[in-house]
């Protein structure tokens, strides 16, 4: 088992404008009736970009500090809702010219008799452009030096069969000062038969009812998470505040018809700022 960040850069830190591709949509939803989907790629750079796509199994997790990461499993067993082995991409490899576009079509062929529910995969789109020259390298002997860069973008693919439901519960809401911020943590537990795609929001409210700070972050809950959020307290007057915390099943980056409905969950605690 291993962990992968959402965006993996395999190289030294140099400009990547000519190396990556833009990927749409941010998540692919496949229905059991159609069993197909697509990903659109755009190369905004000035050089051709070689692109490949593979499927892997993974889901978001949080570490002991509340940081989000993508946990991947190379060989998911039958106890996990994996759709990785069902996916075929056409084409799997391609070269996109400068300012060019490419549609990757997905065919999903699950085995007969799968039970109703939601099955998961991640689509890893790797883009590799031409070598980028390294400035400052010694070229007095006529030897050019460059770095071959690869940018990997990972998006979820959700395969749904039959009626699926989702929901969320919030527990153990807490807050603690850290520098010039308040760090907010809460345990998010998914209910139902499908992943929860929503947005977490929070706000600090003074005794007089004015907002002293807010946060707003999209969240995807497949299994329990205990994420961290921060609210800046720079310039906030000392005193007692109410922290309002809520999670709604809505996302600005995902079509509303693909976001499963669920009740908004709310909680609040008192916070002392010194």
Residue 170 has pLDDT above 50, yes or no: yes
Spatial neighbors of 44 by CB under 8 A, at least 6 apart, are 17, 21, 22, 99
Alpha carbon distance 66, 143 (integer Å): 47
For 123, 128, 143, 152, 184, the CA distances from 61, given in Å and listed in that order, are: 18, 28, 45, 19, 17
Average pLDDT over residues 98-117: 97
Q: Tens of pLDDT along 59-80?
A: 999 999 999 999 999 999 999 9
Q: According to the model, what pLDDT value does residue 149 have?
A: 79
* Domain end residue (candidates: 143, 161, 179): 161
Percent over 90 (pLDDT), the chain:
84
List the domain range (segments joined by +) for residue 248.
166-273
Instruction: Tell me the average pLDDT of the chain.
Output: 90
Residue with tokens 């069969």: 161
Q: According to the model, what pLDDT value does residue 129 have?
A: 74
Band of pLDDT at residue 37, cut at 50, 70 and 90:
very high
Instruction: Specify whether 179 is located in the same domain as 79.
Output: no
Q: Tens of pLDDT along 250-274?
A: 999 999 999 999 999 999 999 999 8
* Domain end residue (candidates: 161, 193, 208): 161
Average pLDDT over residues 146-156: 84
For 28, 41, 47, 125, 151, the CA distances from 95, given in Å and listed in that order, are: 22, 11, 10, 13, 14
Q: According to the model, what pLDDT value does residue 196 have?
A: 98
The domain spanning residue 123 has which CATH number? 2.60.40.10
Instruction: Specify whether 42 is located in the same domain as 142.
Output: yes
Instruction: Specify whether 142 is located in the same domain as 246.
Output: no
What single string gives the DSSP state of each residue in the chain?
-EEE-SEEEESSS---TTT--EEE-SSEEEETTT-EEEEEEE--SSS-EEEEEEEEEEEEEE-TT--EEEEEESS--TTS-B-GGGEEEESSEEEEPTT-EEEEEEEE-PPTTPPSEEEEEEEEEEEE-SPEE-TT---TTS---EE--EEEEEEEEEEEES---EEEEEEEEEEEEETTEEEEEEEEEEEESS-EEEEEEEEEE-TTS-EEEEEEEEEEESS-B--EEEEE-TTPPSEEEEEEEEEES--SSS-GGGSPP---EEEEEEEEE-
Q: According to the model, what pLDDT value does residue 200 have?
A: 98
* Domain end residue (candidates: 140, 161, 182): 161
Band of pLDDT at residue 14, cut at 50, 70 and 90:
very low
Among 6-15, 113-122, 148-157, the range scoring the smallest mean pLDDT is: 6-15
Instruction: Specify whether 133 is located in the same domain as 189.
Output: no
Instruction: Specify whether 37 is located in the same domain as 113.
Output: yes
Instruction: Specify whether 157 is located in the same domain as 177.
Output: no
Alpha carbon distance 259, 199 (integer Å): 11
Instruction: Specify whether 130 is located in the same domain as 112.
Output: yes
Determine the distance from the C-alpha atom of residue 182 to the mean position of all C-alpha atoms in its chain, rounded to a whole number. 24
Q: According to the model, what pLDDT value does residue 134 have?
A: 56
Instruction: Specify whether 139 is located in the same domain as 208.
Output: no
Alpha carbon distance 204, 231 (integer Å): 8
Residue 206 has pLDDT above 60, yes or no: yes
Alpha carbon distance 14, 34 (integer Å): 42
Q: According to the model, what pLDDT value does residue 52 have?
A: 97
Q: According to the model, what pLDDT value does residue 130 have?
A: 62
Q: According to the model, what pLDDT value does residue 62 have?
A: 98
Structural domain count, the chain: 2
Percent over 70 (pLDDT), the chain:
86
Instruction: Specify whether 144 is located in the same domain as 196.
Output: no
Instruction: Specify whether 146 is located in the same domain as 264.
Output: no
Average pLDDT over residues 89-114: 97
Higher pLDDT, 132 or 208: 208
Instruction: Specify whether 130 is located in the same domain as 209.
Output: no
Between the two ends of the chain, the Cα-to-Cα distance in Å is 43
Q: According to the model, what pLDDT value does residue 142 have?
A: 60
The domain spanning residue 196 has which CATH number? 2.60.40.2550
Q: What is the pTM of this model?
A: 0.86
CB–CB of 209/132 below 8 Å?
A: no
Instruction: Specify whether 12 is located in the same domain as 119.
Output: yes
Q: According to the model, what pLDDT value does residue 9 have?
A: 33
């Amino acid at each position: 088992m291993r962990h992968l960040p959402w965006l993996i850069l395999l190289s030294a830190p140099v400009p990547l404008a000519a190396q990556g591709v833009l990927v749409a949509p941010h998540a692919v939803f496949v229905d059991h009736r159609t069993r197909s989907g697509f990903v659109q790629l755009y190369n905004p750079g000035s050089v051709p970009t070689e692109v490949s796509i593979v499927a892997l199994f993974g889901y978001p997790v949080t570490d002991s500090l509340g940081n989000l990461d993508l946990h991947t499993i190379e060989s998911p067993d039958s106890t996990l809702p994996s759709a990785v082995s069902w996916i075929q991409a056409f084409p799997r490899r391609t070269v996109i010219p400068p300012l060019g576009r490419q549609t990757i079509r997905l065919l999903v062929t699950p085995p007969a008799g799968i039970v109703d529910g939601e099955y998961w995969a991640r689509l890893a789109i790797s883009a590799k452009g031409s070598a980028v020259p390294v400035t400052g390298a010694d070229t007095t002997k006529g030897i050019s030096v460059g770095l071959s860069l690869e940018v990997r973008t990972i998006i979820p693919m959700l395969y749904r069969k039959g009626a699926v439901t989702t929901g969320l519960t919030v527990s153990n809401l807490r807050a603690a000062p850290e520098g010039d911020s308040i760090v907010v943590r809460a345990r998010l537990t998914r209910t139902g038969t499908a992943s929860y795609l929503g947005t977490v929001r929070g706000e600090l409210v003074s005794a007089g009812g004015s907002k002293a700070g807010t946060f707003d972050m999209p969240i995807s809950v497949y299994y329990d998470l205990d994420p961290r959020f921060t609210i800046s307290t720079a310039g906030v007057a000392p005193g007692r505040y109410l922290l309002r915390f809520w999670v709604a099943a809505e996302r600005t980056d995902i079509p509303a018809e693909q976001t499963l409905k669920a009740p908004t969950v709310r909680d609040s605690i008192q916070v002392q700022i010194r």
